[in-house]
Amino acid sequence: MRWGIVLVIFLKELRESLRDRRTLIMMIGLPILLYPALSLFVGSLVQSRQASMESRTSQIAVWGNLPAPLSDHLKRHTNILLQPWLGISEVLRKDLESDTAEGLQAVAPTNSSSMKPDRSTDGEMAKDPFFIAARSLLTERKADAVLIPWPGIARALDRNGLGQVSIYSDSVRGDSREAERRLTEALRQYRRALVAEREQILDLEPGFGTGLQINNWNVAPNRRQTGLVLGSLLPFLLIVLTASSGIYAAIDLTAGEKERNTMQTLLCAPIHCSEVIGGKFLAVWSISLLAALANFASVAATTARMLPSEMNVQVGLSTYLLAFLLLIPVAFIVSAVYLAVAVFARDFKDGQNFLTPVIFLVMFPGAITLIPDLELNVWNSFIPLANIALLIKALFMGELQAELVFLTLISCVAHAGLALLLASRVFAREQILLGGHGTFSTLFSRTAPRNEDPSPALAAVVYGFLITVVFYGSLLLQDSEIITSVVVSELGFFLLPVVLLTLALGFSPRRTFALGRPTGAGLLAAVLIGGSAWTFIGGILIRLLPPPESFVKAMEKILLLRQDTPPLWTVWLVLALIPAVCEEFFFRGFILAALRRLGRWPAILISALLFGLAHASIYRLLPTLCLGVLLGWLVWKTGSISCGILAHALNNGIPLTLLNTAAQDSVADSASNPFLPWSLTLAGSAVLMIGILLLAAIPARPEDSSSPDRTSRGPIPV
């Protein structure tokens, strides 16, 4: 792929798109207008509604005889108007006046402190005649609330007893909710005054009647409370608007080109399909990012104006910048998916029909932040788009956790890569590209001749899929025995799939898994490297990014250091040999073979990076990446997976043996000193250097290709 040609196509597509009025409106016009309009319109509406409600007097139907002091107290509240016996039937009135209403004490709430309007709208209460009458009155809006002072209240209060009142309100009506609130507050004031008076009369200690004062404090600072509101709404809006802005460009650059018959003109130019998809993708991605930027600028400006005055709080520019950075993978994924889907369309209208369902698919994960109390965790950190939405929410709330950020970003890289591969695969299909009758199933037809290496595209798809399976599988197995969990994960998720895939697709197992016979020098290098790499990792690399204590304790559990001491052969089998075999077959076998055509060092480095990312921890990334480079080079140079397996097994087994021995012999907490002593580190590093020099001295194999294949004819077929 020639990046110069990709750039030419990208600049042309971007120029054309930016000259389109509809793209500009979606990209810039809408965001700039939307947020200020929303804040002004919604804000004004809410404010005026609030003002209107506050100025309105609540109409309270009073069914019963209020004691005079209570009546006077309520009348002093000018926002309440008492309407005696409003809307009550004669039968019920007679009951209340004559103290003969049946089941009055049962109906009247026994827990008078919980005067909530949302109590019991079904069941027993719904059969009560007063409830039914109150419901009817309020539904017909003849009053805002109904107050029933139950018979005997005056007598009870006179005798320093318990008087009972009931308030009926309609929670669906704002004015009824306001009436209920005002009435409750007024009655509470009366109750406080009444209790204070009784305490004085009876010469009791102040607080006798209350008993226990409960003070509730909300420790969440304004900033965090604001963050919760912004973090719930903004990710959804931002993701949907960013995603929407790319749709038109994606359709125009694919189905639009087909409709105008310019696609075939482009294809007869001396360019690869991969360059076409590269240029078009960059254009759609850029437009989505420009839209994201416009959205952010508008949001930042709107909230910068509103928040200080309304809530006495400010959100920092860095928060917005970080949130914008998090939208980059969102724009990447949706742009690739749009292109892949839109290219199936034959014209613009077809394209809109194809992409409308896709927009809904984007909206749903984006809306996850609207669910209360749902936060980013290990389970949802791998769900595309939803994880970003939750991460932005966590950002606004100031609750980022390094491990979850890391997992989310790995997931984004994997999903983005898969999306781009899908788009690339679609573009490689002539039928689809030229407006023919290509179907979705043609994407999965195999065009490459058998007995070649797997392709980088296939490796990426397999990696993305299996890593997701490993991730969720490990979570499901986390309550199982460590031994069971490790064996199932390694054999079931790493080894078996790639072996079966290799056989099913007809790749040569000998070539794919480097099953060649190792030389003596290769084996010696493997022993030296595997036997000493852990000292370099444990002594130097870990010091660069020391893990927290919680991480160390978790690792000890995984490494069986906190259990009844398992036999050493178990440790070697489960934690050294099985992972070595399975992971070497996957990473230095299948993945490295697939990347072979990129050249030696790109293949080794990429496979090492994937190896590091697969360990799903930011603290393990650097050590495992470095180990992956060593193992990759070892297998490449020797042409034998057995060297990689040997080195990997030794790298795992030796330190575990030492740690297990130390755990048996002493009660020292290894978490207190996770680093190796310098003496051991230096000695081990010297041995490692010897191993590396020995490996470098091994002559290159005849079939060793250290330069990439430069006769690529387009997207590498899967």
Partner 1 sequence: MEPVIPILEAENLERSFGPIQALKGISLKVHSGEIVGLLGPNGAGKTTALRILAGILSPSAGWVRIQGVDLREDPLQAKRRLGFLSGDTQPYQRLTPVEMLRYFGQLYQMEESRLRRRIEELVAMLEMRDFAERRCGTLSTGQKQRANIARAFLHEPEVLILDEPTTALDVVTGQFIIQSIRREREAGRAILLSTHIMGEAEYLCDRIYLLHEGLVFDHGSVGDILVRTACSNLNDAFLCYAKP
User: What value does the CA radius of gyration of the chain take, rounded to a whole number of Å?
Assistant: 35
Segment 423-442, which members bind partner 1 (CB under 8 A)?
Answer: 430-431, 434, 436-437
Shortest distance, CB of residue 430 to partner 1, whole angstroms?
6
Give yes or no for residue 8 binding partner 1 (CB under 8 A). Answer: yes
Query: Considering beta carbons, is residue 275 or 556 the nearer one to partner 1?
Result: 275
Query: Considering beta carbons, is residue 438 or 547 the nearer one to partner 1?
Result: 438
- One of 22, 260, 305, 557 touching partner 1 (CB under 8 A): 260
Query: Considering beta carbons, is residue 9 or 392 the nearer one to partner 1?
Result: 9
- One of 270, 372, 567, 702 touching partner 1 (CB under 8 A): 270
Shortest distance, CB of residue 428 to partner 1, whole angstroms?
11
Shortest distance, CB of residue 254 to partner 1, whole angstroms?
14
- One of 262, 353, 565, 673 touching partner 1 (CB under 8 A): 262
Give yes or no for residue 160 binding partner 1 (CB under 8 A). Answer: no
Tokens of 393: 């929410």
- One of 1, 20, 115, 443 touching partner 1 (CB under 8 A): 20
- One of 16, 128, 175, 452 touching partner 1 (CB under 8 A): 16
Q: Which stretch binds partner 1 (CB under 8 A): 14-22, 169-177, 396-404, 690-698?
A: 14-22
Q: Which stretch binds partner 1 (CB under 8 A): 259-267, 420-428, 532-540, 599-607?
A: 259-267
How many residues does this entry show for the chain? 718
User: How far apart (Å, rounded) are the C-alpha atoms in residues 327 and 330?
Assistant: 5
Identify the CA nearest to 278 among candidates 595, 462, 8: 8
Q: At what angle do helices 678-697 and 520-536 cross, to 10 degrees?
A: 150
Query: Considering beta carbons, is residue 120 or 264 the nearer one to partner 1?
Result: 264
Rounded to the nearest 5 degrees, what angle is found at the Cα of 259, between the Cα atoms of 258 and 263?
25
Instruction: Convert residues 491-530 into a mask of x (bound to partner 1 by CB under 8 A) and - (unbound).
Output: ----------------------------------------
Shortest distance, CB of residue 293 to partner 1, whole angstroms?
22
Rounded to the nearest angstrom, the gap between the alpha carbon of residue 505 and the centroid of all alpha carbons in its chain is 35
* Cα-based distances in Å from 38 to 30, 35, 293, 304, 359: 11, 5, 18, 15, 22
Q: Which residue has the tokens 């749903």?
A: 364
Query: Considering beta carbons, is residue 4 or 699 the nearer one to partner 1?
Result: 4
Give yes or no for residue 5 binding partner 1 (CB under 8 A). Answer: yes
- By the 8 A CB rule, do 226 and 234 touch? no
Q: How many residues bind partner 1 (CB under 8 A)?
A: 25
User: How far apart (Å, rounded) are the C-alpha atoms in residues 371 and 248?
Assistant: 30
- One of 201, 214, 268, 667 touching partner 1 (CB under 8 A): 268
SS3 422: helix
Alpha helices, DSSP H, located in 268-382: 273-311, 317-342, 348-366
Amino acid at position 647, single letter: A
Beta-bridged to residue 83, according to DSSP, are 61
Tokens of 226: 């604001």
Task: Work out whether strand 145-149 and strand 80-84 pair parallel, antiparallel, or are unpaired.
Answer: unpaired
3-state secondary structure 683-698: HHHHHHHHHHHHHHHC
Q: Which stretch binds partner 1 (CB under 8 A): 257-265, 372-380, 403-411, 642-650?
A: 257-265
DSSP 548: P
- One of 12, 56, 77, 198 touching partner 1 (CB under 8 A): 12
Q: Which stretch binds partner 1 (CB under 8 A): 15-23, 112-120, 354-362, 409-417?
A: 15-23
Identify the CA nearest to 587 among candidates 415, 470, 422: 470
Query: Considering beta carbons, is residue 2 or 305 the nearer one to partner 1?
Result: 2
User: How far apart (Å, rounded) are the C-alpha atoms in residues 207 and 192?
Assistant: 10
Identify the CA nearest to 53 among candidates 147, 140, 174: 174
- One of 1, 154, 156, 267 touching partner 1 (CB under 8 A): 267
Query: Considering beta carbons, is residue 120 or 261 the nearer one to partner 1?
Result: 261
Query: Considering beta carbons, is residue 18 or 687 the nearer one to partner 1?
Result: 18
SS3 122: coil
Give yes or no for residue 196 binding partner 1 (CB under 8 A). Answer: no
Give yes or no for residue 271 binding partner 1 (CB under 8 A). Answer: yes
Beta-bridged to residue 81, according to DSSP, are 59
- One of 19, 159, 510, 517 touching partner 1 (CB under 8 A): 19
Shortest distance, CB of residue 12 to partner 1, whole angstroms?
5
User: How far apart (Å, rounded) are the C-alpha atoms in residues 622 and 557?
Assistant: 21
Q: Which stretch binds partner 1 (CB under 8 A): 11-19, 64-72, 318-326, 507-515?
A: 11-19
Query: Considering beta carbons, is residue 20 or 128 the nearer one to partner 1?
Result: 20
Amino acid at position 14, single letter: L
Shortest distance, CB of residue 596 to partner 1, whole angstroms?
22
Rounded to the nearest 5 degrees, what angle is found at the Cα of 483, between the Cα atoms of 481 and 488?
100
Shortest distance, CB of residue 267 to partner 1, whole angstroms?
5
**CA atoms within 13 A of residue 369's CA, in its CB half-sphere:** 29
Q: Which stretch binds partner 1 (CB under 8 A): 132-140, 262-270, 448-456, 589-597?
A: 262-270
* Cα-based distances in Å from 348 to 252, 257, 351, 430, 438: 7, 9, 5, 19, 17
Chain residues in the site for partner 1 (CB under 8 A) = 5, 8-9, 12, 15-16, 19-20, 260-262, 264-265, 267-272, 430-431, 434, 436-437, 713
